Chains A and B, each alone.
Chain A
Amino acid sequence: MIEAILKYNYMQNALMAAILTSLICGIMGTIIVEKRLVSMSGGIAHASFGGIGLGYFLAIEPIIGGLLFATITSVSVGVIQRKTKNNADTIVSMFWSGGMALGIFFVALTPGYPPDMTSYLFGDILAVNQTYIRLMIILTLIILFIILPLFNYWKLYLFDEEYAKIMGVKVILLETVLYVLIALSIVILIKVVGVILSLALLTIPPTIAKLFTYQLKWMMGLSVLFGIIFSLMGLSLSYYVNIPSGATIILVAIGGYFLAVITKIMWHKRKHPKEDVML
């Protein structure tokens, strides 16, 4: 594997993509899990498929279309939710299905042979090129520069939004920024694990991390670490066994979750033999 990384550009790109993805999944995934925005993130991911289809139709970089659709969806969900009495889940599912429908629609209208959408649906870390890595670095830096310097405000917003409002913190601004950051994160993930599998990589590492810590900053840190482990293991497996990388990374992460749960149960039983385990 190390030899392959040193020898091939595409392996270097894949390694870089895995690290950047893990960084974003650790930070944004923790926020998504703790703010209970998993369903909304799924909606944004699937809505971005419409933009990818539009990108093919207009002959521009599909991921730019995906970024556009993901951002519009994330902001729209927040605005519609505030302005109407509709349940957030209802709005999210509309964007979820609507995005997929538009993607299929635009691909069908694209002249010539229909493009292969599999890599966008299920990801292919080995197909990530230099341009995409540059885009990933820019988006990752944007996310880090917005989350880390305002960490205490994010923590307050995630834990007790109403108290943040009472304190005079601009909660709607934080919410809008957060939704846009989720959109950016999903676009970063699309090439690596795809629209359909991105949700798993955003949620599994934080869920595991929460088994071992009760501080938000450590939950983010551990999530990044778990993300790197799962991505690199998935990447290695897919390289050696010649199986799809996105699916492999997700299956490794799911395996990691069960392993972590078993470890936690055994550790707890050993320390407190008479108590029931609360995960």
Chain B
Amino acid sequence: MSGIHIHNLEVRYDQVTALKDVTFDIKENEFLGIIGPNGGGKTTLVKAILGLIEPAVGTITVDHQDVIGYVPQMTTFDRQFPITVLEVILMGHLPRTIKIGHRFNEHDKNHAMMVMKRLKIEHLSKRQIGQLSGGQMQRVLIARALMNHPNILILDEPTASVDEKTKESIYRMLKELNKNMTVIMITHDTALMWPYLDRVIYINKTVHLHDQAKEGKTAEAMDTCPIDWFVEGEKIQKELLIGKGVKND
């Protein structure tokens, strides 16, 4: 059993319900987009998959052999931190169990260089992270996530602060990686992402896009879904799933 299986998931922050009755599967080698408005529960869902948040109800099943790589939003850390690109990437190879006296050896460094070559950033290895552009930084974070040979890659808004051209190149790179791994990506970038994704989940309160689409209530769906590519989404036969309060059938 590979992939991720989410059943009847409910996540609460204190008394506030952030996600409820979420049930769906993420298939092996799928390129899945997660969209929805701010506060709709996208990051909560990802954090629950990563095990950072305990579900109040329900289960998330990830095969024990699966390795998850994670690319956080660039805003979660200090870009002025005194650290080089190579050091950031090597962090992805740090043993989970704390090992006293751990040092990265030549094999680790060669592996990091190979990953950097794959992402075309090997020339940046000695730079301080504050000297990188948004697109370069994003590639560095993806490289860090790839260090442990993941078969599931989760990205939180990887193109939030990069220009259109860089966005395209990141999507192309992710599509290339998708040949060998499942890619799950939170994004607000609705215009450029379509050609690359296999499926989209829409996470929001009380929105039930899937049923509305089936019943022909697309106008109502478009009112509640602040994205203008909904019809186009149907046209290219993307499956719109659901979020808070709704089950996928």
Binding site for B on A (CB under 8 A): 34, 149-150, 152-153, 155-156, 158-160, 162-163, 165-170, 210, 213-216, 218-219
B81's partner among A34, A162, A218 (CB-CB below 8 A) is: A34
- Take A156-B94, A160-B72 as given contacts and tell me if A214 and B84 are in contact as well, using a CB distance cutoff of 8 Å: yes
Binding site for A on B (CB under 8 A): 50-52, 68, 70, 72, 76-78, 81-84, 87-88, 90-92, 94, 96-98, 100-104, 128, 130, 144
Which residue in chain B gives the minimum CB-CB distance to A218?
A: B82
Contact, CB under 8 Å: B91 / A163: yes
Residues in B neighbouring A214, C-beta threshold 8 A: 82-84, 128, 130
Contact, CB under 8 Å: B96 / A168: yes
Which residue in chain A gives the minimum CB-CB distance to B98?
A: A153
At the interface, is chain A mostly helix, strand, loop or mixed?
Answer: helix
Contact, CB under 8 Å: B83 / A152: no
| Besides A153-B102, A166-B68, 16 other A-B contacts (C-beta < 8 A) | A34-B81, A149-B102, A152-B91, A155-B83, A159-B81, A160-B72, A160-B77, A163-B70, A166-B50, A166-B51, A166-B52, A168-B96, A214-B84, A214-B130, A216-B83, A218-B82
Q: Complex: how many Å from CA A178 to CA B72?
A: 24
Contact, CB under 8 Å: B83 / A153: no
Chain A nearest Cβ from B63, distance in angstroms = 17
Q: Complex: how many Å from CA A219 to CA B50?
A: 33
- Take A152-B102, A152-B104 as given contacts and tell me if A159 and B83 are in contact as well, using a CB distance cutoff of 8 Å: yes
- Take A163-B72, A215-B84 as given contacts and tell me if A152 and B103 are in contact as well, using a CB distance cutoff of 8 Å: yes
Which residue in chain B gives the minimum CB-CB distance to A168?
A: B96
Q: Complex: how many Å from CA A269 to CA B233?
A: 54
Contact, CB under 8 Å: A160 / B76: yes
Chain B nearest Cβ from A203, distance in angstroms = 15
At the interface, is chain B mostly helix, strand, loop or mixed?
Answer: loop
Q: List 10 A-B contacts (CB under 8 A).
A: A34-B81, A149-B101, A160-B72, A162-B72, A162-B76, A166-B68, A167-B96, A214-B128, A215-B82, A219-B82
Q: Complex: how many Å from CA A216 to CA B76?
A: 19
A152's partner among B72, B77, B94 (CB-CB below 8 A) is: B94
- Take A153-B94, A153-B98, A214-B128 as given contacts and tell me if A162 and B52 are in contact as well, using a CB distance cutoff of 8 Å: yes
Contact, CB under 8 Å: B101 / A159: no
Residues in B neighbouring A156, C-beta threshold 8 A: 91, 94
Chain B nearest Cβ from A83, distance in angstroms = 12
Which residue in chain A gives the minimum CB-CB distance to B71?
A: A163
Q: Complex: how many Å from CA A162 to CA B128?
A: 20
Q: Complex: how many Å from CA A61 to CA B91?
A: 44
Which residue in chain A gives the minimum CB-CB distance to B100?
A: A149
Residues in B neighbouring A153, C-beta threshold 8 A: 94, 98, 102
Q: Complex: how many Å from CA A94 to CA B52?
A: 30
Q: Complex: how many Å from CA A213 to CA B97?
A: 30
Q: Complex: how many Å from CA A153 to CA B100?
A: 9
Q: Complex: how many Å from CA A162 to CA B91?
A: 13
Residues in B neighbouring A168, C-beta threshold 8 A: 96-97
Chain B nearest Cβ from A176, distance in angstroms = 14
- Take A152-B104, A162-B52 as given contacts and tell me if A169 and B87 are in contact as well, using a CB distance cutoff of 8 Å: no
Q: Complex: how many Å from CA A266 to CA B144?
A: 37
Which residue in chain A gives the minimum CB-CB distance to B102?
A: A152
Contact, CB under 8 Å: A215 / B83: yes
Residues in B neighbouring A216, C-beta threshold 8 A: 81-83, 87
- Take A159-B77, A159-B81, A160-B77 as given contacts and tell me if A169 and B50 are in contact as well, using a CB distance cutoff of 8 Å: no
Contact, CB under 8 Å: B70 / A166: yes
Which residue in chain B gives the minimum CB-CB distance to A219?
A: B82
Residues in B neighbouring A162, C-beta threshold 8 A: 52, 72, 76
